[in-house]
Structure 1
């Protein structure tokens, strides 16, 4: 009979904090178990309270008291952050420069552990103010006051403001009470207009104001559903489009693919490179995104849209492509999609990734097929959180 593991939930531990790990926490070890500690920094000595223990080889804890602070620790600018507070941010207690160092360490560690690559990583800052978040989804608590949920919890932390969200979007979502569990999604677009939608606990999204956002990126004006996919940081879309264009370097008249195309940001860049005689296959599963993409790129007939899940569209991905650009969801592309890409025999693959672990797994799979990492850039597109955006160039 297997001996039951002890449940440490609620236990207080004095521990020394080790290296940063993927997910917004640092690693420590106590009595042979791994403890993932939030609200701490590497090298600190803290008192941590165990918040979750499912009986495995690890548990989760919050640093509730710092006995020996890191010189990199700063006062959190948001009063709702910290142990037991809002779960929206991970690194409020670290300076922006240190946050980027921590994210760089995570990207490098994932590439090393999952892809066997020792790769120097620098996370670059994006221009703009500290209030960078253009879209947020608040939720009403039991008393109807809106806020954000605590980390790994359904408990709502009521907020007066969200210091990383643009003022218009924050004010529109937090200014009125709602029925408990109602979600309020606000978007402040590139023109400064605020769009507000409501999602009841049971029911479909209801647009309360606005609905069609206007953005500018890659030298174009974009109109898209305000709740559709667009980079959340105001500078991210233009920055990523610039890197993708530089590394894709598609030839005039070539055939190229833009997988997980969204509304066609990268497809527009590729279309300019291949010209009227070329062909850009833009594949996206979201019907509204494809509709918006077709409208936005109506002046580029070389862009051919297909509304389909990339994972299910192997028949459409037959034939060769000089360049493949992909921007998959957080889980990554996976082996079947990689197989379809490899069979197209591209000269270059430009991979945009919002999760370093998924990127590292797909880089490892591509290496099995002879495609190797040539360049990598990482951007701090989500300050104060653990998230980081990467762009990778691979070739044979």
Structure 2
């Protein structure tokens, strides 16, 4: 492990994960936090050992600043401080350009696609949310006792005492979308940005364009956020099957789908294993549309293959990780599906995270 090693250099492009790339004339590549492309900085190495392919570091001094650099609004942001945010030092519009660059790079490198990406702001209901603050309706702290609380440093168990986290909304999420209130456990999953669920539903419904009488699969379906509106769209002659690994979420999904006109089936279980079951049910017969919202690691090859076997004319993929999305887009391409639309949403301002929704259409279908 390096011991207080410091380097000076000009930072290169942004990379996936909330850091930028510094390529010294000698030694390994360094992934640098709290820097911006083009800046000359002094980097303190925080992780790395002789022979490693890359090291990690923090920009502890900025010698030549980018015009996109701003004073971080949070006093706990920066080197040796809270690790919760990656881009507090970056103008909000520039944050979105950086995220767009990452999505483009991942699609080019992993899916061999050149794609023009724009990361869009998500409507918020307060001026602070519009500034990228007070949007996180669920926040976890480390209890320090005596009413004190803290946040962990980046990639560390060390805790920084925090009086007020500026992205904490200080109110719970409102699980209401398009006038429908969803049943969800207090500690269950729900999008943390107040505008996220509505924006995602709007995008999934627009891309997927479900029609009356169609058969739809909603994979990694949670409490039925998408399935609810898909079922309304396909109507009494249509059907929606939902698969979700969490038993409690499945129970809530059944409640949330109880009054829809379509035939529905909710199955608790691992998506890959459920899709590998013998044919002859709503979940295994050919379908018209598949919506999938996998965890951060993506759907992976086996699930993509199982989806393709059902011959949907279109697949709507909701992704919280651009690398996983790009890998799965490549798998879908191997199965005859082409990326036709992509929307990137800034659901996590001040962090490197970005949510993407992709539409993949079957080669040769009338929708391509």
TM-score normalised to structure 2 length: 0.92
CA contact (8 A) 1:141 1:155 kept: no
Deviation digits for residues 9-55 of structure 1 (CA, Å, limit 9, x no counterpart):
42010011000000000001121411000000000000010000144
Q: What does residue 19 of structure 2 align with?
A: 25
Task: Give secondary structure in 1 for the equivalent of 2:267.
Answer: strand
TM superposition shift of 1:251: 2.2
Task: Give secondary structure in 2 for the equivalent of 1:137.
Answer: coil
TM superposition shift of 1:145: 3.0
Q: What does residue 207 of structure 2 align with?
A: 247
| Deviation larger for 9-18 or 94-103 | 9-18
Unaligned stretches of 5+ residues in structure 1 = 1-6, 169-187, 191-214
Q: Does 2:37 correspond to 1:42? A: yes
Q: What does residue 52 of structure 1 align with?
A: 47
Cα separation, 2, equivalents of 1:223 and 1:337: 28
Deviation digits for residues 314-349 of structure 1 (CA, Å, limit 9, x no counterpart):
217422010000000000000110011000000000
Task: Give secondary structure in 1 for the equivalent of 2:139.
Answer: strand
The structure 2 residue matched to 1:94, chosen from 78, 90, 93, is 90
Cα separation, 1, equivalents of 2:233 and 2:168: 35
Cα separation, 1, equivalents of 2:17 and 2:5: 22
CA contact (8 A) 2:45 2:57 kept: yes
Q: What does residue 273 of structure 2 align with?
A: 312
Deviation digits for residues 35-91 of structure 1 (CA, Å, limit 9, x no counterpart):
000000000000010000144110000000000000110000000000010010000
Task: Give secondary structure in 1 for the equivalent of 2:94.
Answer: helix
Q: Does 2:345 correspond to 1:379? A: yes
Task: Give secondary structure in 2 for the equivalent of 1:136.
Answer: coil
Matches within 5 A, 1:236-385: 236-300=196-260, 302-313=263-274, 314-315=276-277, 317-385=283-351
CA contact (8 A) 2:173 2:190 kept: no
Answer 1 or 2: which has greater strand percent: 1
Cα separation, 2, equivalents of 1:61 and 1:276: 57
Cα separation, 2, equivalents of 1:325 and 1:228: 21
Cα separation, 1, equivalents of 2:39 and 2:123: 31
Cα separation, 2, equivalents of 1:92 and 1:350: 32
Provide the aligned C-alpha RMSD in A: 1.3
TM superposition shift of 1:225: 0.5
Deviation digits for residues 363-394 of structure 1 (CA, Å, limit 9, x no counterpart):
00100111010000000000000000000000
The structure 2 residue matched to 1:110, chosen from 97, 106, 110, is 106
Task: Give secondary structure in 2 for the equivalent of 1:351.
Answer: strand
TM superposition shift of 1:141: 4.1
Unaligned stretches of 5+ residues in structure 2 = 363-368
